Amino acid sequence: MHLWPIPALLLPLLASPGHAPIPSEAGRTIVFLGDSLTAGLGLPLEQAYPSLIEARLKAERRPWKVVNAGISGDTTAGGLARLDWIYKQKVDVLVVALGANDGLRGIPVEQTEKNLRAILRRARKEGSRVLLTGLRLPDNFGPQAQARFAALYPRLAAEFHVPLVPFLLEGVAMEPGLNQADGIHPNAKGARKVADLLWVKLGPMLSGPR
């Protein structure tokens, strides 16, 4: 697992055996751009969902380089600010899993959408395929705010013609047995469910053409 080096000025903004290798995949990179859910806060690095996806690729002898670019506390603005650093290398697939901290901090939905749109535009310019993951607000924000926030992800996915996982924590959120004591971050079992959920959309993307 490769952890993306973080410039000092960004620190305050705070992953079946026997198959033959696929030669066309050699030298290809997938980057997970996210927050603490992606970084695997509270878990050993090897139990973060990007690491579980990397382990799956290795088990299938598929030579993808996996970069966990998750930073605890990160927002869509922080993710956008890190793109120049991230794109110092070729990124074949970019998984965008940002927005939860925007909502929790009360950042206007319009600004979150603007930042995500800028991230998707940059990815398109760089030739990266994108998997967008949706996030949701907790119930205490109220149904109207929840609906407005959740709606921005399918809207952007349709606009940019990218696949969407509607909710990153589907089947995990609010399940005590799948989360750590804070009730927010998945435990090891929950992270495995997140990895399995993402794989449904991500697996076919990693088998496709450049």
Report phi then psi at 66, rounded to 5: -110, 125
Taking alpha carbons only, the member of 119, 122, 90, 118 closest to residue 210 is 90
Total domains present in the chain: 1
The answer to whether residue 42 sits within a structural domain is: yes
The answer to whether residue 185 sits within a structural domain is: yes
The answer to whether residue 15 sits within a structural domain is: no
Q: Which of the following is catalytic: 19, 35, 182, 207? A: 182
Q: Which of the following is catalytic: 51, 92, 185, 196? A: 185
Reply yes or no on whether 185 is catalytic: yes
pLDDT of residue 13: 35
Q: How far apart are CA 4 and CA 191, in angstroms?
A: 20
pLDDT of residue 41: 97
Reply yes or no on whether 36 is catalytic: yes
Q: How far apart are CA 70 and CA 79, in angstroms?
A: 9
- DSSP secondary structure letter of residue 158: H
Q: Which of the following is catalytic: 36, 51, 92, 102? A: 36
Reply yes or no on whether 182 is catalytic: yes
The answer to whether residue 41 sits within a structural domain is: yes
Walk along the chain (210 residues) in steps of 10 and give the mean pLDDT of each run. Answer: 45 35 69 98 97 97 95 98 96 98 96 98 98 95 96 98 98 97 97 98 83
The answer to whether residue 124 sits within a structural domain is: yes
